[in-house]
Amino acid sequence: MADYRAPVKDALFTLRHIGMLEDLSKTERYAHADPETVAAVLEEQGRFMQEVFAPTNAIGDRVGLKWSPDGVETPAEFRAAYAKFVEAGWQGLNADPEYGGAGFPESVFACASEFETAANGALTMAPGLTTGAIECLQHWGTEEQKEVYLRKLITGEWTGTMNLTEPQAGSDVGLCTTRAVPQGDGTYLVTGTKIFISFGEHDMADNIIHLVLARLPEAPPGTKGISLFIVPKFMVGDDSSIGERNDVRCVSIEHKMGIHASPTCVMSYGDDGGAVGYLVGEENQGMRAMFTMMNSARIAVGIQGAALGDAAYQKALAYSQERRQGREIGGDSKEPAFIISHPDVRRMLLFMRSHVEAMRALIVYNAAALDLSRALDGDEATAWGEIAELLTPVTKAWCTDVGMEVTSTAVQVFGGMGYIEESGVAQHYRDMRIAPIYEGTNGIQAMDLVGRKLGLRMGGVVNDLMDRMTATVAELDAAGESFASMATELQAGIDTLSDVTSWIMTSGLADPKEALAGATPYLRIFGIVTGGWLMARQALAARAELDAGSSDSAYLEAKIVTARFYADQQLPQAAGWVASVKGGAAVLYDVDADQLASV
């Protein structure tokens, strides 16, 4: 089946027109990230992922992992590919240059992460979790911790993990019971069990740096009493030399629906008296440290929707040009036609293509907002930071829900072969299924959007975003007849979003349960409309490039048609979710649990 091709051209187009790359490269922080350099970096990184990561994807799915009391054995091909990844230095692309990183913007890193995840979603979990640990230590680590741990994480020689989940503490992290007892010498002894820890144990790196949430003796209950600790697999000297094994081990790994070669570990801390840990940040401030990296971690999971969606789309498109069935409607050939000529298959392909582009644009915009909040000062920085905050739950949840639909549609394009593993498309569908669950389930994201983010600046942030959307309608109106229906549909979408936003905010004030009952469909509307806005902006940019005489008319014209399809056929679906938003909580509780079980 078709090999994965990194969509470098579309990523660069999106970075230029949606990701404000030109503006970013004018800031001091990102002066080195000029469009030419970024193009060269993404070309090279995309090639690397195509040639090194992608060929190991199906192998990992088939071979899986081997657990023993000594550790977890990953496929040999993973070890080889990861070694090349470290050698090439890709781990540090967005990391702090002071500690060996390349300091590129999150928006550029998001595109690189998309290529990496699409090439091999299971293997990418290792660098993905390491990125989270890097960000946490960059922000909260002491100088000494940065020298000792950060440098090795940024090279990728060591990997990182995030240890939040425990059997009784999933979405409700405040129920964490892992304990950390101070030893009086600046260290702590950590004891407890963490479950579902991605790459908690493996054989691809020399050391694993676990970031572990734990509770000090006498800590207040709930999230206010949680602290964060570095617990290395092997003890580390001041010069980063590796010493004795710490008292932490992987006692088993899970057997999963997808990402078979990403070890999901049950980690036991302190079976022999306590694992040595080092406090990160202040005591009882562990959740603050977690929140620091939450925006990029959640964007990273949203990326999985665009990445696996695109990988599946590429396979489906190739298959639709090889598989012959049925006669072409209106054609005169007696031969069976390629299935791509059938209207229903075309519809599926356009559905996938338009959503992949919309997801990519949302991710890039969200990440660029984060970049601008870091690169600018004062009110401008604050305003971009607010937009990043607002959009993050939408990026995480909408992109992963849509990613499921896109990978499912790709299976459908294959017909029966889609259900057969040999086609490879089923793996993308299975691998995708975890993304709406981890890093805060999509239900929790919807609650975050409705309960915390809409209230930012008393609703001012969401209103500002809708004003930006409205400004695009004016541009579409001015762009002539061919953009008229896009303008109409986008305006209708904004009106719908505005209407349900007011409803959620008003009813949420009266009774939070009402707003929470409609939170998930509300987030859906938010995603559909924001996606439509960003597609319209891309269409306008494509038109402008064509008018300026660009020679790449095939790509640019396809971009406009794809945006038109989204505007005419996908955007109107936002209105269909309104009844679900406003349905309220009462009907959900008009049956009790026993009645739900009655047949």
Ligand X SMILES: Cc1cc2nc3c(=O)[nH]c(=O)nc-3n(C[C@H](O)[C@H](O)[C@H](O)COP(=O)(O)OP(=O)(O)OC[C@H]3O[C@@H](n4cnc5c(N)ncnc54)[C@H](O)[C@@H]3O)c2cc1C
Q: How far apart, in whole angstroms, are the C-alpha atoms of residue 172 and residue 450?
A: 18
Instruction: List contacts with ligand X (CB under 6 A).
Output: 129, 162-165, 170-171, 196-198, 256, 264, 434, 437-438, 441, 443-444, 447
The residue whose Cβ lies closest to ligand X is 170
Contacts of 205 (CB under 8 A, 6+ apart): 82, 86, 126, 156, 157, 158, 159
Cα distances (Å, whole numbers) of residue 311 to 2, 6, 7, 115, 448: 10, 9, 10, 9, 30
Of the residues 166, 439, 489, 514, only one is catalytic, namely 439
Q: Rounded to 10 degrees, what is the CA torsion of 483, 484, 485, 491?
A: 100
Least distance between ligand X and beta carbon 178 (Å): 11
Q: How far apart, in whole angstroms, are the C-alpha atoms of residue 241 and residue 206?
A: 10
Q: What is the CA radius of gyration of the chain?
A: 24
DSSP letter at 439 equals: S
- CB-nearer residue toward ligand X: 89 or 451: 451
- For residues 567 and 532, the answer to whether their CB atoms sit within 8 Å is yes
DSSP letter at 444 equals: H
Least distance between ligand X and beta carbon 146 (Å): 22
Q: How far apart, in whole angstroms, are the C-alpha atoms of residue 262 and residue 537?
A: 37
Structure tokens at 558: 């396809």
Least distance between ligand X and beta carbon 425 (Å): 21
- CB-nearer residue toward ligand X: 154 or 447: 447
- CB-nearer residue toward ligand X: 249 or 353: 249
Three-state DSSP at 506 gives: helix
Residue 286, classified by CB atoms within 10 Å of its CB into exposed (0-12), middle (13-18) or buried (19+), is buried
Least distance between ligand X and beta carbon 69 (Å): 21
Residue 135 annotated to the active site: no
Least distance between ligand X and beta carbon 195 (Å): 7
DSSP letter at 338 equals: B
Q: What is the 3-state secondary structure (H, E, C) of 540-562?
A: HHHHHHHHCCCCCHHHHHHHHHH
- Residue 184 Ramachandran class (φ > 0 left, ψ -120 to 50 alpha, else beta): left
Least distance between ligand X and beta carbon 256 (Å): 6
**H/E run at residue 446:** helix 442-448
- CB-nearer residue toward ligand X: 57 or 409: 57
- CB-nearer residue toward ligand X: 58 or 175: 175
- CB-nearer residue toward ligand X: 165 or 207: 165
Position of tokens 């719908």?
496
- CB-nearer residue toward ligand X: 164 or 358: 164
The number of CA neighbours under 13 Å toward the Cβ of 425 is 31
**Backbone phi and psi for residue 570, each to the nearest 5 degrees, phi listed first:** -105, -45
Sign of the alpha-carbon dihedral angle for 372, 369, 103, 43? negative
DSSP letter at 567 equals: I
- CB-nearer residue toward ligand X: 133 or 356: 133
Least distance between ligand X and beta carbon 444 (Å): 5
Least distance between ligand X and beta carbon 257 (Å): 9
Active site residues: 439
